[in-house]
């Protein structure tokens, strides 16, 4: 039995993580990887993932969403370059410089704050300049990006190490992505770029779909964790799932034909049935949208989720599957892909992985820290 009170845990295979990183790296070479480990490495444990990727020569830098995520990595001893993908407030500039982080810049106010902080700290601050080529989120608009870039180049304490953009539809719309790429090239042509400046545009889907978007760096997130951003891009691409979420059967119930199960009585037994109760619910990140449509893997067979997913538990129909209390169940991961489960919930693998909550222990293995339990 698992060494914690609720038999509900996630195995994190760091060997699979490194395999995926090398696979993507070979595909995009000679470009190098920016390993995206924001949101606690998509739920996998940012510090453990950063350490596991530390010896991968193809990984040029790490990327997180916020200053606090980066600070946790620095506190954990991670010295690698770290890119902040989200916008920062001017008030955060001093911490960015002190921690040696690379901020994303696209406006003068933040650039000025970073420049002033770098002067106080007596060091140059590395930044990446972002162009909004059609995502409509962060970045200088492609029509104005060259002007803004020129102004930011005037800050003496900033080193613009790279320029980049982000695809909005790389997993599904080649035409719009091609338009974004043309806009990015237009910006590059309009700007006096130093010969040493690096470029990046591709996320995991873009890396698989657009070879001409590899440039110098590729930002890889979901592919590192073994989920395909879109299977039609590379159906034979041997990504391996890194997270396998498991639980054990904690109760078995006989249910008569016509008897309902769970809140709202949304499922009634079509026959005399046996129901297994699993200690995982929406408070753990098992989405309520999987009510009456999810499946789990039990003793080599798929068992349907019946009734509504509750806060702490789900029920599955095991009438045709020999089952005992304590049997191990896979919620997703090895042999039951997170993409398949996400599709049943009407969402994407990213959301499912990130949704696995902090009360689900992570068991990391496949490295020098094999078998160490970590809190999120």
Please write the tens of the pLDDT for every residue from 75-96.
999 999 999 999 999 999 999 9
Question: According to the model, what pLDDT value does residue 235 have?
Answer: 61
The parts of the chain modelled with pLDDT lower than 70 are 1-4, 231-235, 367-376
Asked: is 31-225 a CATH 3.20.20.10 domain? The reply is: yes
* Cα-based angle 79, 84, 86 (whole degrees, multiple of 5): 160
Where along the chain do the CATH 2.40.37.10 domains lie? Answer: 243-374
Catalytic residue among 4, 38, 199, 253: 38
For the whole prediction, is pTM greater than 0.85? yes
Q: Fill in the DSSP letter of residue 208.
A: H
Question: According to the model, what pLDDT value does residue 376 have?
Answer: 36
Question: According to the model, what pLDDT value does residue 229 have?
Answer: 85
Where along the chain do the CATH 3.20.20.10 domains lie? Answer: 31-225
Q: What b/e sequence results for 28-62 when a residue is b if at least 16 CB atoms lie within 10 Å of its CB, and e otherwise? A: beebbbbbbbbbbbbbbbbbbbbbbbeebebbbbb
Catalytic residue among 75, 253, 263, 301: 263
Question: According to the model, what pLDDT value does residue 368 have?
Answer: 46
38 noted as active-site residue: yes
Q: Class for domain 243-374, per CATH?
A: mainly beta
């Amino acid at each position: 039995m698992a060494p914690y009170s609720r038999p509900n845990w996630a195995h994190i295979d760091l060997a699979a993580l490194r395999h995926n990183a090398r696979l993507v790296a070979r595909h995009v070479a000679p470009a190098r990887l920016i390993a995206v480990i924001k949101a606690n490495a998509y739920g996998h444990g940012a510090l453990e993932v950063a350490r596991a990727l530390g010896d991968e020569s193809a990984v040029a830098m790490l990327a997180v969403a916020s200053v606090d995520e980066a600070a946790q990595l620095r506190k954990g001893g991670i010295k690698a370059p770290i890119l902040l993908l989200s916008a920062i407030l001017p008030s955060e500039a001093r911490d960015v410089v002190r921690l040696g982080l690379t901020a994303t810049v696209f406006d003068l106010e933040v650039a000025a704050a970073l420049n002033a902080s770098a002067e106080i700290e007596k060091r140059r601050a590395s930044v990446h300049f972002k162009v909004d080529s059609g995502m409509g989120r962060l970045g200088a608009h492609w029509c104005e990006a060259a002007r803004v870039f020129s102004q930011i180049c005037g800050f003496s304490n900033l080193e613009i190490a790279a320029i980049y953009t982000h695809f909005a539809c790389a997993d599904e719309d080649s035409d719009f992505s091609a338009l974004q790429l043309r806009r990015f090239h237009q910006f590059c042509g309009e700007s006096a770029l130093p010969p040493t400046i690096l470029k990046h545009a591709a996320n995991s889907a873009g890396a698989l779909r657009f070879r001409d978007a590899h440039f110098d760096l590729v930002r890889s997130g979901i592919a590192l964790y073994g989920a395909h951003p879109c299977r039609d891009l590379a159906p034979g691409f041997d990504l391996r799932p890194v997270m396998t979420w498991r639980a054990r059967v904690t109760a078995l119930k006989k249910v008569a034909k016509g008897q309902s199960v769970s809140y709202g009585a949304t499922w009634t037994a079509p026959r005399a049935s046996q129901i297994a109760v699993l200690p995982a619910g929406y408070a753990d990140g098992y989405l309520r949208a999987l009510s009456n449509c999810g499946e789990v893997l039990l003793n080599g067979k798929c068992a349907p989720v019946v009734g509504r997913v509750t806060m702490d538990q789900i029920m599955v129909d095991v009438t045709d599957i020999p089952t005992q209390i304590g049997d191990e169940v896979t919620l997703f991961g090895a042999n039951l892909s997170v993409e398949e489960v996400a599709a049943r919930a009407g969402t994407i693998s990213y959301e499912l992985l990130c949704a696995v909550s902090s009360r689900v222990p992570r068991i990391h293995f496949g490295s020098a820290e094999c078998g160490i339990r970590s809190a999120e």
